Chains A and B, each alone.
Chain A
Amino acid sequence: MHNEPYSLPIGELGSSGIGWKMRTMPEDSLRYCPASAGDWGIIRVGLLVPESAMLFVSPSGCGRHGAIAGILNGFMENLFFLCISESEIVNGQHLDKIPEAAREIFREGGDQIKSLLICATCIDTLLASDYESLAEDLSDETGIPVKICHMNPITMDGKAPPPFTVQQAVYGFLTPISKKSEAVNIIGSYGGVMKESEFHWLMRKSGMGEVKHVTTCRTFEEYLEMAGSTLNLLIRPGGRLAAAEMEKNLRIPCHSMPHSYGIETVTSLYKELESVLGMQLPIDNFRESALEAVNAVIRQHGRLRIAVGQSINGGSFEVARALTEFGFEVPYVFADMVIDADRKHVVWLKEHAPNLLVYTNAHTSMVDFQEIGLEADLAIGFDAAYYCSGTKSVPLDMGIQPFGFQSTEYLMSEIEKALEDKSCLKGKMYASGLVI
């Protein structure tokens, strides 16, 4: 006997006691972890700082997926694991081992390691272990900056969940500098803005200068110069706490300009940015180019039915809205949470796509997903492709960061590529190294 998987019509989101920062599934559900679920994970994000190393302190099981993803994606070289025993945890002795492990890492890494992140896990959250003073002592002793981050999904529902706090840690090495530069920092994303994006040209044209991101800094020294930028642009929600902290500590003002794929949304975001900068940006040609890219795909492939997942670089509801605006049909969105940034898009979708069904990746009933027989012409995100069996997929890799109107063109080109792609979902998905 199998059950119909849990779903909600888009119209019921927010009208059945479900708020704007809440799960899309009932509280009494166990969590299903489909093969397609995941994100970059704390370890990979933490290691974005150039010439940095990470010491992951935990029971051995906690670090396994991060390590394997590290081998797959090439960030295992500067990643070290301190596996701790039950007695060490009970006695708090695991904290005593950390300095010795750090010294060994510094000794062997030589001057190639310019900073160290120590990552603690759920158990240390519950034990309230004092990692901060440990990091300070280590920094003082070795002269190498040491910061703390946490892979503690046990706090996922709190005000500072790990995907947010790890970005705080990533930018936590920055200290105030006197040398200011005309530059804009991109905060929140895992990749720097693609060179094809018009945003680089627009920022140069407007006098804002270079567009920086932690991944475009080749050295730790270069990364430290981000502290001298004049503006932080928050483009993905995960960077919110980091940007707030940089505003407070480094006095870099922050403007939110969420990475979006919809032409109307991008247009209005540019208008908001114009207000902040106090100048007009010459965006019309880029907007036209994006519109043409959409029309070309529609002319070629018609009104495709496209399912949208959440394991993507973007907001599921924003992407669903963008596709609907473009003239495609979006039958399903797979999303476990609705957050503030989704609100206006959900409201729009209620009016313009009332038949849209919202599934979750995580509801207990999704274990029987094969029984659903969901169909689409294309899926955005591995999770949507997994549930719409046999559907071609557009991964929207979290490490590749389109921006502005170029996001629309990028999405269209990825759709074209996916429709021609003959590789299997399983291989692509596992190679991406997503972790839960």
Chain B
Amino acid sequence: MKGLLKILPPFAPDYSGICSVLFELDGLVVIQDAGGCTGNFTCYDEPRWFGSSSAVFSSELREMDAILGDDDKFINRVREAALKLNRKFIAIIGSPAPMVIGTDYKAVAGIIARKTELPTLYFDANGIETYEIGISMANLAIANNLLIPNLDGERSGVNILGATPLDFGNGRILKDLKDLLEVNGCRINSTWGMGSGLEEVSGSLSASLNIVVSWSGLAAARLMEQEHGIPYVVGLPAGESQSTAFISRVLGKKSVTPASGYANDKSILILGEQVQANSMREALHFDSDYSNIKVASFFAMDEDFMQDGDVRLESESDLRRLVRDNSFEVVFGDPLYRRFFNKIERLYYLSIPHVAVSSRLFWKHDFSLIDGNWIEKLKRSEYLNPGLLVEEPIYEDLKETGLHDLS
């Protein structure tokens, strides 16, 4: 039944995605909710929250305020906080309850901006859409409102768009990307959502290229290409050969597809964020010549980057159907997807935690795409030697480190 979750938790919602992008920008971020939505973000979707002084708050909406349409209380609370906290901008973010009463965020944001004399962004989030929609909304809002014109016209360096802990957890994959860029002489101007403050992000128009590392960065990259002429490349470095090809694309050099070592037609499924999954698929092609690879995701996928057989999943039953109709032998995905594959006897399942799915259960887990160990482990696995079965080494590692060791 569509919408019924019997195994998986609900995924990170749109307001979490928005807050995640704004987290390091020194703004006053307010979710118009009763408290639970903000608690969802701060305690379950944001690994940076513990010990942070990022100003993310709940408006503490109450039934009578909603029924009476009393926005004044909300506006006054935001104004009081703005006076006390000295932040650089304000963002107000919707949630399910104000969606039901049809809150006019644009009007409310206008009043707040006048009263506080601070730039005020608003986001019509509803807690129904998933996180990547929110990240995309926030990136677009930055592109539309917070970028400073590049007056001297000189352009150099790159921006990284689409990064948040919801896709990148403890940031290891991003660190590898940044190291690769720097080793190749590529200066990083900003990393939106993870690693850069407002000053760096607002100077993004001085870059000569945007690197889009998740679906959520695409809309802003396209806008910046259209309006400011900044081109973009999409992808992440994964494994040795694909990383070489990736950096060639970034540097504007001709990319050479490496020769593969051997042919392999194992049926592989990569379940996850589209850009990361595509980069893994490319790496598997390049480094091992796996060719029968599908990408599937519960989150938004861009048609331009889908291949035949790729699937946008909308429900648990979609995933059950996909598993039933295919004979997957190798699966990459969040540990919580593992139960869908329990009936497959001979399976190599490599767990790659996705914070937007499994929240804080595995968010400190360290996973490197670029070092290619994940490909080597797959190649070396005894599964590939007929008669022997070795399953999901990383999943076992996670169990050994303990699900409850969450710091």
Contacts and interface: CB of A to CB of B under 8 A. Distances in A.
Given A59-B126, A63-B10, A126-B97, A154 B61 contact: yes
Interface in B179-195: none
A123 B9 CA distance: 20
Interface stretch (A30-38, A131-139, A295-303, A391-399): A30-38
20 contacts: A30-B30, A31-B35, A31-B38, A31-B59, A31-B60, A32-B57, A35-B51, A59-B126, A62-B37, A67-B5, A67-B9, A80-B6, A81-B10, A104-B1, A121-B96, A123-B99, A153-B36, A364-B81, A430-B406, A431-B406
B407 interface: yes
A291 interface: no
Interface residues of B, number: 70
A64 B44 contact: yes
A72 B10 CA distance: 15
Interface stretch (A155-163, A225-233, A259-267, A275-283): A155-163
Contacts of A18: none
B274 interface: no
A62 B50 contact: no
A370 B53 CA distance: 8
A65 B40 contact: yes
A337 interface: no
Nearest to B9: A67
Contact of A126 (B44, B55, B67): B67
A68 B361 contact: yes
A399 to B, nearest CB: 15
Given A31-B58, A157-B62, A61 B38 contact: no
Contacts of A434: 43
Closest A-B pairs by Cβ, 4 of them? A436-B39, A61-B13, A67-B9, A61-B127
Contact of A81 (B5, B61, B78): B5
Given A427-B405, A436-B43, 10 more contacts: A33-B35, A37-B43, A58-B96, A60-B127, A65-B44, A68-B9, A100-B1, A108-B6, A154-B97, A157-B62
Contacts of A104: 1, 4
Contacts of A122: 34, 96-97, 100
Interface string A54-82: 00001111111101101110001000111
Contacts of A123: 96-97, 99-100
A365 B84 contact: yes
Contacts of A33: 35, 38-39, 42-43, 56-58
Interface string A175-187: 0000000000000
A28 B43 CA distance: 24
B341 interface: no
A426 B407 contact: yes
A1 B97 CA distance: 34
A364 B96 contact: no
Nearest to A58: B96
A151 interface: yes
B11 interface: yes
A435 B53 CA distance: 20
A292 to B, nearest CB: 35
Contacts of B360: 68, 430
B39 A30 contact: no
Interface string A217-229: 0000000000000
Interface of B: 1, 3-6, 9-16, 30, 34-40, 42-45, 49-51, 53-63, 66-67, 73, 76-78, 80-81, 84-86, 95-97, 99-101, 126-128, 130, 336, 358-361, 403-407
Contacts of B11: 60, 64
B53 A30 contact: no
Contacts of B403: 72
A155 B63 contact: yes
Contact of A59 (B13, B16, B85): B13
A83 B42 contact: no
Contacts of A431: 404-406
Interface string A361-383: 00011011110000000000000
A27 B72 CA distance: 12
Given A84-B3, A127-B100, A154 B126 contact: no
A361 to B, nearest CB: 11
Contacts of B85: 3, 364, 367-368
Given A35-B49, A64-B359, A156 B35 contact: yes
Contact of B86 (A1, A29, A60, A108): A1
Nearest to B97: A122
A70 B359 CA distance: 12
Contact of B57 (A30, A65, A151): A30
Contacts of A100: 1
Contact of A61 (B15, B35, B77): B15
B4 A364 contact: no
Given A61-B10, A62-B96, A63-B9, A426 B62 contact: no
A121 B43 CA distance: 19
A119 to B, nearest CB: 12
Contact of A72 (B34, B58, B361): B361
Given A60-B11, A427-B406, A29 B80 contact: yes
Contacts of A30: 30, 57-60, 77-78, 80-81
A86 interface: yes
A154 B99 CA distance: 14
